[in-house]
Amino acid sequence: MNILSPGIYLTNRLRFPAKFVVLAIIIVIPLIVLGLRVFNSLNASIDTVAQERVGREYLQMTTPVLRFSMLQRAASNRLLAGDASAAQDVISNRAQLETALANLADIDARQGQQLETENRVQRLRESARSLMDSIKPGLSQDDVFAQWNEQLAQTLNFIYYVSATSGMVLDEDYASLFLIDLSTIRMPRKSTLPVRSAASRQV
């Protein structure tokens, strides 16, 4: 018995309008399924792009925090080394670091739940303030420098965390992934290397 016999028998007994309806159903159902899959895929891509956009906003706000933290580390090192002119740099840079942290806290209040940052920004802000408040004449340069290195490490960890929760490190486009890896991991890590000799030369 031919496997197509039931189909042939059915089509032979159907009128032409009914045959067209059956053929239409056979063609339309796969198209509908395929269309739904494409639609869901596009929606997923849109959600991913929106998530990555939030991640980029976070990184734009975190970059100044990283930069001013490095400057504060250098200024504090100069101050503890006996450079009186560094006192004004410490004060002015602290104001800029506080502003950068406030901007980061502002976006975290709006978008933190989406990236599950919890209280990471608050901890980062409090530890930076505590460290800046603790700078006093007579403290060990090595200890303070090490504490700032730890603060910078925590800032970098936050960058890595946001890059992961926003999906930026999972980008399917290789060119985009390379740029994301370069801007969120490699360059920040290189820029925060504790080059003590360079800081000492500023004294």
Q: pLDDT digit of tens for each residue in the chain (203 aa)? A: 567 677 667 677 767 777 778 778 878 888 888 888 888 777 766 777 778 888 888 988 998 998 899 999 999 999 999 998 999 999 999 999 999 999 999 999 988 888 888 899 999 999 999 999 998 888 999 999 999 999 998 998 898 888 888 887 666 555 555 555 555 555 555 555 554 444 444 44
What percentage of the chain exceeds 70 in pLDDT?
Answer: 76
How many domains is the chain built from?
1
* 37 assigned to some structural domain: no
* 45 assigned to some structural domain: no
> Domain range spanning residue 61?
50-201
* 11 assigned to some structural domain: no
For residues 151 and 40, give the distance between their C-alpha atoms in angstroms, rounded to a whole number: 42
* 120 assigned to some structural domain: yes
* 22 assigned to some structural domain: no
Handedness of CA 103, 106, 111, 112 (dihedral sign): positive
* 74 assigned to some structural domain: yes
- pTM for this structure? 0.68
* 21 assigned to some structural domain: no
In CATH, what number is assigned to the domain containing residue 71? 1.20.120
For residues 110 and 102, give the distance between their C-alpha atoms in angstroms, rounded to a whole number: 13
* 168 assigned to some structural domain: yes
Summarised one tens digit per residue, pLDDT across range 93-127 is 999 999 999 999 999 998 888 888 889 999 999 99
Read off the tokens for 153: 């490490």
Summarised one tens digit per residue, pLDDT across range 48-65 is 777 888 888 898 899 899
